[in-house]
Amino acid sequence: MAEIRHCDQCGRVFEPRREHARFCSGTCRVAWNRAHRRDPATEVHALDWSVAALADLPPRLSSADGNHVVAIVSEAVWQVTIVDATLVRYYPDVYDEVLDLRPRQQRRLIEGSMAGLRFVRNRMRCEAEREAFVGPPPGVPAGAVSRADAFTWQMVPEPLADVPRSARRTWELTRYQAYRAFLAGHPVGETFGRATEFLRQAATGATTLHPAGPKRATGR
């Protein structure tokens, strides 16, 4: 059964094309953007600053001490998802255009990875759950892994597994399924490399096409 959502602007039920879709039409997106307008120059500056920080992620992960992997990965998840959220919120057309230029399999991999990282972001807010997300590859002692990027995402329990599916949020289950399919069992360095490459390309498109700030006049 296809997922349905309520438009953030008009409340109408619609079937989303993307995991992050919030509006039923371009008209509603434009209306919402106008009602929640922010200073364009400030937004572009914040995006530039956040994207610049992404460039340091791969080298920091590769040189980081494995003993501090949880803290390092938590910070990296926060950095990646804040850029992702900014692009999705203020430059959704550019975000989708850059994504659509990729081959189908690569597009699916990027979308799945980003959805999985959103799941990690929400769950890592709980101190008790942070340790469960990253660990050494199967069969390798923790002390034998010296680089943070060589640690792997661990399989974690389904959230609210004791609650009937009908009572749980669809997006939470979708993101968990993406985590299982695209992150669990894979090195954290691989995931962040893929995510940062895509986000930097999307951010370049956003600031090049809309140097004065987020696009306000068109949209899906």
- Tokens at residue 177, please? 């399924």
**What is the pLDDT, as a whole number, of residue 133?**
92
Cα 69 to chain center, whole Å?
20
CA distance 22 to 88: 10
Which burial class, exposed, middle or buried, applies to 213 when counting CB atoms under 10 A from its CB (0-12, 13-18, 19+)? Answer: buried
Grade residue 25 by pLDDT with cuts at 50, 70 and 90.
confident
H helix intervals, 25-147: 26-35, 40-54, 57-63, 69-90, 92-100, 104-123, 127-130
Task: Round the average pLDDT of the chain to a whole number and report it.
Answer: 79
Instruction: Report the pLDDT value the prediction gives residue 117, as an integer from 0 to 100.
Output: 94
Q: What pLDDT does residue 1 have?
A: 45
Helix (H) or strand (E) holding 13: strand 13-14
Q: Which pLDDT band holds residue 113 (cuts at 50, 70, 90)?
A: very high
The answer to whether 158 and 176 have CB atoms below 8 angstroms apart is: yes
**Once rounded to an integer, what is the mean pLDDT over residues 21-42?**
70
Which DSSP state fits 216?
-
The answer to which of 103-117, 131-145, 168-182, 196-210 has the lowest mean pLDDT is 196-210
- pLDDT confidence of residue 138: 85
Instruction: Name residue 153's beta-bridge partners.
Output: 134, 184
Q: Reply yes or no on whether the pLDDT at 165 is more than 80.
A: no
Token pair of 10 as six digits: 């008009």
Predicted structure pTM score? 0.75
From the list 32, 76, 44, the residue with the least C-alpha distance to 204 is 44
Contact between 86 and 50 (Cβ < 8 Å)? yes
| Residue 5 phi, psi dihedral angles, 5° rounding | -135, 165
Q: What's the sign of the alpha-carbon dihedral 89, 90, 95, 96? A: positive
pLDDT at residue 218, rounded to an integer: 39
**From the DSSP assignment, how many helices (H) and strands (E) are in the chain?**
9, 4
Reported as a single tens digit per residue, the pLDDT across 46-94 is: 566 567 667 777 777 777 666 678 888 888 898 899 889 888 887 888 8
91 and 214 in contact (C-beta within 8 Å)?
yes
* Alpha carbon distances (Å) from 128 to 121, 161, 175, 185: 14, 17, 20, 21
